[in-house]
Amino acid sequence: MSTAADLDMRVPSGTTLLNGWGRTAPSAAHVVAPASAGEVAAVLSGAGKAGGAVPRGLGRSYGDAAQCAGGVVISSGRLDRVLGWDPDSGTLRAGAGASLDALMRQFVPRGWFVPVTPGTRHVSLGGAVAADIHGKNHHGDGSFGRYVQSLTLVSPTGAHRLSPGDDDAGSYWATVGGMGMTGLVTDVSLRLIAIETAYMRVDTERADNLDEVMSRMTDSDADFRYSVAWIDCLAKGARLGRGVLTGAEHAQLADLPARLRGQPHAFAPRQRLDVPFTAPGGLLNPLTVAAFNELWFRKAPRRRQGEILSLAAFFHPLDGVGSWNRLYGRRGFLQYQFVVPHAGSEVVRRALEALGAAGVPSFLAVLKRFGPRDPAPLSFPIEGWTLALDIPVGARRLGAVLDDVDEMVAAAGGRVYLAKDARLRPELLPVMYPELDHWRARCRVLDPEGIMTSDLGRRLGWLEANPA
């Protein structure tokens, strides 16, 4: 007799089903949480036989980057301490499992802010390095790897202290944006930036179509440290790509209204709402999303200057809603982000048209101009336009439409963001990331036996040498 209980006994004991923030393609792995670099090394030495290993921070990559089906997932959760702080240089040393949220809660009240933040505070330092995260200040400030002074990497060959200033910085840059394939980062020394207040001074402007959004961004980007546009993907025809631009600076003390000046560094963001269960599939459909987008567009002022917003309200509005990914229902969602060089900027329009024609609803689309790239071979940002879309799984032809957009992006010399990818055709990876071979060679030095692997890596075949 085969019973459910018998079957459960056959399940490898102690495995955990993991998925990314998009809640698609789950897989089961052994999760371990070492508390020191020595323990990480011990885990890695046993991981070769156990089906490979990948680091995992807070699980906020959207796809399968921090999953290792049938293998070992090394959580950085216990490596979360602040290890040192030098107020003279503003340099912080912390465990790779420390979240930007925890760091901000500790250091914003002292007048310091992280140099780069994505749209959520709930990412770990290790994840920030592995994905070489970018923020609304990329056009001027670049991505995360630029602000790391040094880090400790435990690779299968041992512990390495790496820095962008090394004579041979190849291992450092292979780790930055390297999606955990060089080993596990255990601690990071990071330069923070000084801020006079915990507030932002924000200018908002509405634009009626994509050309207007892009030309205004091109003209005004240099005036702002932070700049981004929200795009209504469902507007069609002459209104295609209408959007709301925001540009912002850290507010000076003098910018604050009197009631805020007493405690200019107050920072205690709260989660205001929670999504307690998975919503029924189809809640976010073309109708509801179009209604939301219409409201969002109309509520934005045609033009407003000097609005004072808290750091959390400006950078991390979605962090106010716990588990918002459940709104997308059981099937989950894709976050699709690409960048194309300026010469290929028309791909932004063609992508919006293709998705619109297929009736694919996108809730939040974010458009931004990236500045110059970092030397990391697998880092996503290159100079040009980037568009990020949230798309519920389930729309008919979604796979085919995104395949078409991938082709346009690759042909224009662009690429998709690996921390968000969940479905790229493997053949396009070396086209989008032409330095892949170079990166792979460096991975082989740090991990000669190929112990580091992930569902993302297996799916894209990035560690397999190209068939000659």
Partner 1 sequence: MNDALGMPQTAVVVGATSDIARSIVRELAGRRLSKVVLTGRDEARLDAVDEEVAALGIATHTKVLDVTDVAAHSAFVKRAADALGQVDLVVMAVGALEPDGPEPPGPVETAELFATNCTGPAALLTAFAKLLCDQGQGRLLVLSSVAAVRVRRVNYPYGASKAGLDAFAQGLSMGLEGTGASVVIVRPGWVATRLTEGRAPAPFATTPDAVARDVAAALERGTSVVWSPPVLRFVFGALQFLPRALWRRLPS
Structure tokens at 339: 């960048």
Contact (CB, 8 A) for 252 and 306: no
DSSP assigned state of 124:
B
CB of 454 to partner 1, least distance (A): 9
Distance between CA atoms of 58 and 419, rounded to whole angstroms? 13
CB closer to partner 1, 12 vs 140? 12
CB closer to partner 1, 329 vs 344? 329
Contact (CB, 8 A) for 128 and 150: no
Tell me the torsion sign for CA atoms 96, 98, 104, 107.
Answer: negative
SS3 state of residue 175? helix
Structure tokens at 153: 């990497």
CB closer to partner 1, 248 vs 401? 401
Residue type, 190: L
CB of 436 to partner 1, least distance (A): 18
CB closer to partner 1, 6 vs 168? 6
CB of 10 to partner 1, least distance (A): 6
DSSP assigned state of 99:
B
CB of 114 to partner 1, least distance (A): 29
Give me the residues paired with residue 345 across strands: none
Distance between CA atoms of 423 and 415, rounded to whole angstroms? 13
CB closer to partner 1, 41 vs 410? 410
CB closer to partner 1, 2 vs 237? 2
CB closer to partner 1, 399 vs 448? 399
Would you tell me which residues interact with partner 1 (CB under 8 A)? 2-4, 6-8, 10-12, 15, 17, 22, 24-29, 63-64, 68-71, 330-332, 334, 393-394, 396, 398-399, 422-423, 425-426, 455, 458-459
CB of 2 to partner 1, least distance (A): 7
Radius of gyration of the chain measured on its C-alpha atoms: 22
Structure tokens at 21: 């923030």
Non-local (6+) Cβ contacts of 191 within 8 A are 89, 90, 91, 92, 115, 147, 148, 149
CB closer to partner 1, 49 vs 259? 49
Go through 184-220 and write b for each residue having 16 or more CB atoms within 10 A of its CB, e for each that does not.
Answer: bbbbbbbbbbebebbbbbbbbbbbbbbebbbebbeee
CB of 353 to partner 1, least distance (A): 21
CB of 73 to partner 1, least distance (A): 10
CB of 304 to partner 1, least distance (A): 38
Please report how many Cα atoms fall inside a 13 Å half-sphere around the Cα of residue 22, on the Cβ side. 24
CB closer to partner 1, 10 vs 298? 10
CB of 334 to partner 1, least distance (A): 6
CB of 11 to partner 1, least distance (A): 5
Integer CA distances (angstroms), 362 to 235, 245, 359, 381, 428, in order: 11, 18, 9, 22, 24
Structure tokens at 312: 């959390």
Residue position matching structure tokens 């923020």: 135
CB closer to partner 1, 11 vs 254? 11
DSSP assigned state of 157:
T
Integer CA distances (angstroms), 54 to 47, 168, 182, 188, in order: 10, 25, 9, 18
